[in-house]
Amino acid sequence: MSNLFRRELRGPTLILWNTNAETCNALSPDYYKGVLDGLKDAAENPDIAAVVLTGQDGFFCSGGDLNLLKDRREMSMSERLESINGLHDIIRAIRNCPKPVIAAVEGGAAGAGVSIALACDMLISASGAKFVLAYVRAGLVPDGGATQTLMKILPRATVARMALLAHPIWAERLYELGAITEIVAPGGALNCACDLAEEVANGPQEAISAIKKLMNAGETASLEGHLETERTAMADALGRDEAQIGINAFLTKQTPVFRREGTR
């Protein structure tokens, strides 16, 4: 197994670790491959209910390795475009994975590490964690969907300070602005993320997958188009066993017990 990436199965939760600790968990080809393979496995394995992304030794991810980026300056334009695909494939895979993906951030995130954390469905951060888009200091621009995601969830002035001036923003402020799911004490992000994953595991898996698809579609759809998408999804959900279990439990004032495919 690579010393830059590690995977761990904790009950119904697949944890994908960035273990490039010498560089504060900079991105690497091994990490790209490991995350893509892990998300694919999670999508196909009914025993996995959620995925958690985290980093080793108290930092989530420092983004691109400047030594690798320096070498890419000598590439042709087409080669440089190709070199960015690894990051963008991860962003797509996080969004397209039918299982919820949760970021567990200790210490902070920088550059593309911010992009990856914000692409997740939920983001748990330790208090005092710092998020910074330092691209402009190196004469570069954000990638990984950072500017699109941030413009959707933060005021323009806040994004401008982050992207144009590389000013850091702390987890507490991002939580106030609605970009972070929960703030925990330092050292507690992973356990909190796994607790949320356990909640997901106890829920209706088909409905959760359908809701994630609706969330993705809702970001770009027109109201009329999305109403039709929700209508179809609701009609489909009503015909599934999960709805029978959930509705019956609700009407009888009991806690619904949903069973994941593949569990016994």
Judgement on whether residues 214 and 193 belong to the same structural domain of the protein: no
- 224-257 residue pLDDT tens: 999 999 999 999 999 999 999 999 999 999 999 9
In a domain, 262, yes or no: no
Q: Is the pLDDT of residue 155 over 50?
A: yes
Q: How far apart, in whole angstroms, are the C-alpha atoms of residue 13 and residue 131?
A: 25
Judgement on whether residues 197 and 79 belong to the same structural domain of the protein: yes
- 82-93 residue pLDDT tens: 989 999 999 999
Judgement on whether residues 97 and 63 belong to the same structural domain of the protein: yes
What is the model's pTM? Answer: 0.94
Q: How many C-beta atoms lie closer than 10 Å to residue 42's C-beta?
A: 22
Q: Whole domain around residue 218: which residue ranges?
A: 205-251
In a domain, 69, yes or no: yes
190 near 15, Cβ under 8 Å?
yes
In a domain, 23, yes or no: yes
Domain finish residue from 201, 216, 232: 201
In a domain, 35, yes or no: yes
CA–CA–CA angle 95, 98, 99 (5° rounding): 95
pLDDT at 68: 81
Q: Is the pLDDT of residue 264 over 80?
A: no
